[in-house]
């Protein structure tokens, strides 16, 4: 017994050390900077400044709004897709899975940059529109395009957990539902939907979290015009001629808290943690 315990400690040590150095210590730095002034003395002013600054609040609510939209749209697309995917034969499922995964093999920056070029004023889409006699459209710089960019980039994170929870629904339950007189819609509504909720919830968190902290997508798809909270953090640390780590860290901390709160809310809804498809973050 004792032997196993010390063995476990030895086996766990590298992971604990890793988490401590690369997760806990950076977090402590963020907390430290968020609650100190440039001289290192303790203060609550950063937090107060953040919540009373008109610009930061604009950006904050914008980020939340865009992230909610992107999550809802992803869900609306992903659920029917996942359902259909789970209904086709095994080889088609593998093929569809490959198609969903393929874009993720490319770096987010490259994918986003390519889309920016496609949507440009003289880009592929507008060239096509003009060749069939339509007016070119100014895509870049619209909120819709940024949300599109987020949906495009994070949709696989919604599809995968939903697909995995739908496809693991016991077939005998579906047969039972049919035998007892449910039509397809009834089966979806009464059997599949409730059983796939854990997948939906983890999909929501996996899309909402990266969306709310997005920065590169918004910059590329708005030519730097529409700032999201991630952009502001980047500016604070990196672009400003007077880098302000304190307010930068404060914004990061607030963002982390928002994410934790949304995770907690989502977890409240999932009463059964043992369900398949749930992803622990």
Partner 1 sequence: MKKLICAVIAVLLIVGLFGLSFLGESNTDVDVIDEQYYKNDYTGIELNVFNWGEYISDGSEGALDVIGAFERKTGIKVNYTTFDSNESMYAKLKSGSVSYDIIIPSDYMIDRMRKEGMLKEIDYSKVPNYKLIDEKYHAQYFDPEDKYTVPYSVGMVGLIYNKKMVKEEPDSWGAMWDERYKGNILTFNNSRDAFAIAQFYLGLDVNSTDKSDWDKAAAKLKEQNPILQGRVMDEVFNKMQAGNAAMAPYYAGDYLTMADINPDLGFVYPKEGTNIFIDSMCIPSNSKNYEAAMMFINFMLEPEVALANAEYICYASPNTAVVDHPDYSLAGNEFLYPENQDAIKTEYYKDLDDETRKYFEKLWEEVIIN
Question: Residue numbers of the site for partner 1 (CB under 8 A)?
Answer: 55-56, 58-59, 98-99, 102-103, 105-106, 117, 120-123, 138, 140-141, 220, 222-225, 227, 232, 238-243
Residue 136 carries which DSSP code? P
Q: At what angle do helices 193-212 and 143-167 cross, to 10 degrees?
A: 150
Kindly state the smallest distance separating residue 59's Cβ from partner 1, in Å.
6
User: How far is C-alpha 154 from the geometric centre of its chain's CA atoms?
Assistant: 6
Between 188 and 227, name the residue whose CB sits nearer to partner 1.
227
Residues 6 or more apart whose Cβ sits within 8 Å of residue 231 = 59, 215, 218, 219
Smaller CB distance to partner 1: residue 9 or 101? Answer: 101
Kindly state the smallest distance separating residue 53's Cβ from partner 1, in Å: 8
- Least separation, in Å, of the C-beta of 88 and partner 1? 16
56 versus 79: smaller Cβ distance to partner 1: 56
**How far is 120 from 123, CA to CA, in rounded Å?**
4
Nearer residue to partner 1 within complex by CB, 124 or 180? 124
Q: From the CB of 156, what's the least distance to partner 1, in Å?
A: 13
**DSSP per-residue codes, 71-127:** HHHHHHHHHHHHHHHHHS-HHHHHHHHHHHHGGGGS-HHHHHHHHHHHHSTTSHHHH
CA distance 40 to 28: 14
Q: Which is nearer to partner 1, 76 or 106 (CB)?
A: 106
- What sign results for the dihedral spanned by CA atoms 204, 207, 210, 214? negative
Min dist CB 61 to partner 1, Å, is 12
């Amino acid at each position: 017994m004792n032997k196993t315990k010390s063995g476990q400690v030895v086996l766990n040590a590298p992971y604990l050390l890793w988490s401590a150095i690369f997760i806990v210590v950076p977090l402590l730095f963020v907390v430290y900077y968020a609650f100190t002034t440039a001289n290192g003395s303790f203060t609550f002013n950063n937090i107060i400044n953040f919540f009373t600054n008109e610009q930061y609040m604009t950006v904050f609510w914008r980020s939340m709004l865009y992230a909610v939209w992107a999550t809802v749209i992803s869900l609306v697309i992903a659920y029917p897709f996942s359902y259909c995917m789970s209904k086709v034969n095994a080889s088609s499922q593998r093929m569809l899975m490959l198609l969903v995964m393929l874009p993720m093999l490319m770096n987010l920056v490259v994918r986003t940059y390519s889309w920016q070029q496609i949507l440009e004023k003289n880009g592929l889409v507008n060239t096509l529109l003009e060749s069939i006699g339509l007016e070119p459209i100014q895509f870049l710089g619209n909120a819709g395009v940024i949300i599109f960019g987020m949906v495009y980039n994070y949709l696989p994170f919604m599809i995968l957990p939903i697909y995995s929870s739908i496809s693991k629904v016991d077939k005998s339950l579906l047969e039972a539902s049919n035998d007892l007189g449910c039509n397809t819609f009834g089966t979806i509504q009464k059997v599949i939907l409730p059983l796939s909720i854990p997948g939906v919830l983890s999909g929501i968190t996996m899309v909402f979290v990266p969306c709310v902290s997005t920065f590169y997508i918004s910059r590329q798809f708005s030519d730097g015009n529409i700032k999201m909270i991630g952009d502001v953090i980047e500016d604070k640390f990196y672009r400003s001629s007077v880098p302000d780590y304190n307010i930068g860290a404060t914004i990061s901390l607030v963002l982390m808290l928002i994410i934790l709160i949304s995770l907690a809310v989502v977890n409240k809804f999932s009463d059964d943690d043992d369900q398949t498809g749930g992803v622990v973050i």
